[in-house]
Amino acid sequence: LEAVEKELRTVNSACLLTRLRSLVEKFQGCGADLLTPCRHVTGSQMTCWIAWHLHEMNEVLRQVRMHITDHTPGSFTLSAIRGIPVNQLRPDSMLLEGAILAYLLLKRHSCITRLELGAKAVMVFSFPSLLSKALEGNTSLTEVHIGYGYKPVLFPSPHTSTLVSTTVAKLSLRLESLDASNLILDKEATTSIAKAVHGGKLRHLFLYNGMSTKLVAKLFFAIGASSNLTSLQFGGLEEFSICHAFYLADALIDSKTLRKLSIDCLEEDVVGVILGALDHNDSLEVLSLSDGDFSSISVLHDGIEALYRNKRLRSLTLSKVWLPDMAGPLIADVLLKNQSIEEVCLSANDFTDTGAGALAEALPHNFSLRCLDLSGCSLSMDSLSRFSEALARNSTAECVRLGAIDIPEDWVLSSPLTMGICARLQVTWNTRGLEEWAACLRQEKHPFPVLWVAWMNTAASSAVGGFFSALDPSSITELTIDFAGNVRPSCAAAVALFLQTTKTLRKLVVDV
């Protein structure tokens, strides 16, 4: 009580004591003693008593828009419920029981190993001091996520912002995963995270872009020398600057452990600089750069050339970074000279049929690529024809995603469709395309348990129904349906009928 009272100076002792007694009595009524110590022992089969009282816990935690779940036997996640605007919450005095319970769980229970909050989480926004006090003495958390979306937390005061950021940063020395993408880090917080990266157990790190150059230099030096960090992400409303990119390039040259790098919101030429660093990096396997300004073709050319020689990278995403058609032949050369890249995503760029055509020409000569994504680019039926022909001469690619292409109802491919082309070419089909695919399903063996299907708004409902009736209900394990436009009742009924008959489907994704 004394510890809680110290952090909640606006609440008088009598009110606080009443709330605490009410909380204890509430759990005593269902056979639980809230003050009983945690019974979780790392490495043992013993489970804490809260496992049998999750419903009662969540009834109280719902006050502060939180809930507790078990993610592995004996280990629990305390997380915020998303989507509740802060201005719709009750006054802090009405949330005391939930806040106290969250404090006790974090302070006293080693079975809580994962904490997931967000920019508008009640404990972050309304009870930052109490949250920080609970985290100060915590020794059991291995993952902390304070990040939903790209906006940083708008704390009531600079003091509370510094308090939460510093506390979370100091906690990172004991963490394996930290997502602080909603926190603005000062010098002290950045220093603590740099120490955790260099000498701690931290394997995954996700931070906000808006850091000063001096702090970035300190952090990236630690990243280059880290012996544990395998995943690094940056995002936010502020751009990842070209100066930061040069520090990161140096870190990539030195890094021996980093396997995954993802950065959103990039300044001009950042893409080319980071790609260029891969010429001297033999650890990175996944690289994702998205939502960036245009890169000059000379810088981009030098960066892409580094991919000729890097044989470690397996997945490359350059999405919404204004790649022009001139980049098409450069990336096509990579596919011809580098037989180790398995996934390439170039969605939402400035490619037209010219740039996509160069990639289609390279596809039959590449034997490592499993997935190529060109969705969201300005493509026409010409790209559809060329990739159809390319897939007919390539047996290793699992999917080529062209996305929404405006295909007239009277348009027909020059070459006949086969099951191997239809199942791997992800595009919005017209009526004729769906009918030909359905015919393939009825006539050919079906070695593709994972399917993606979409159709034009103008496609006949009978063609949609014919496609789903042709699907083998005992062979499909994963199905993605992309309703590119309005969902007609007849189409939804065809999908529902297939779901009623399927015996093997394990995963269904419906995009509307």
Choosing from 85, 105, 134, the residue where a domain stops is 134
Residues 512 and 383 in one domain: no
Q: Are 253 and 279 in contact (CB under 8 A)?
A: no
The domain that holds 491 is classified in CATH as 3.80.10.10
> Does 210 fall in a domain?
no
- Nearest one of 408, 345, 355, 411 to 378, comparing CA atoms: 355
> Does 181 fall in a domain?
no
Residues 5 and 129 in one domain: yes
| DSSP H or E run through 176 | none
- Nearest one of 132, 91, 100 to 18, comparing CA atoms: 100
Residues 434 and 333 in one domain: no
Residues 445 and 392 in one domain: no
Q: How many domains does the chain have?
A: 3
Q: What is the pLDDT of residue 445?
A: 76
> Does 96 fall in a domain?
yes
Residues 386 and 440 in one domain: no
**SS3 letters across 267-283:** CCCHHHHHHHHHHHCCC
Question: What is the C-alpha separation between 124 and 160, in angstroms, rounded?
Answer: 9
- Nearest one of 339, 334, 340 to 318, comparing CA atoms: 334
Give every CB contact of residue 208 below 8 A, 6+ residues apart in sequence.
Answer: 152, 180, 181, 182, 183, 184, 185, 234, 235, 236, 238
pLDDT digits (tens, 9 = 90+) for 169-179: 999 999 999 99
Q: What is the pLDDT of residue 9?
A: 62
Q: What is the pLDDT of residue 349?
A: 96
Residues 467 and 385 in one domain: no
> Does 328 fall in a domain?
yes
Residues of the chain below pLDDT 70: 1-2, 5-7, 9-11, 40-46, 83-93, 119, 149-150, 154, 485
Crossing angle of helices 54-61/13-28, nearest 10°? 150
Residues 102 and 1 in one domain: yes
Residues 3 and 129 in one domain: yes
> Does 82 fall in a domain?
yes
Amino acid at 380: S
410-413 contact pairs (CB < 8 A, 24+): 411/381, 413/384, 413/385, 413/388
Choosing from 90, 107, 134, the residue where a domain stops is 134
Question: What is the C-alpha separation between 179 and 204, in angstroms, rounded?
Answer: 8
Residues 384 and 435 in one domain: no
Residues 344 and 453 in one domain: no
> Does 288 fall in a domain?
no
Choosing from 82, 100, 134, the residue where a domain stops is 134
Strand partners, 179: 145, 206
Residues 366 and 491 in one domain: no
Question: What is the C-alpha separation between 174 and 143, in angstroms, rounded?
Answer: 9
> Does 251 fall in a domain?
no
Helices (H), 62-115: 96-108
Residues 448 and 386 in one domain: no
Domain that holds residue 381: 323-405
> Does 203 fall in a domain?
no
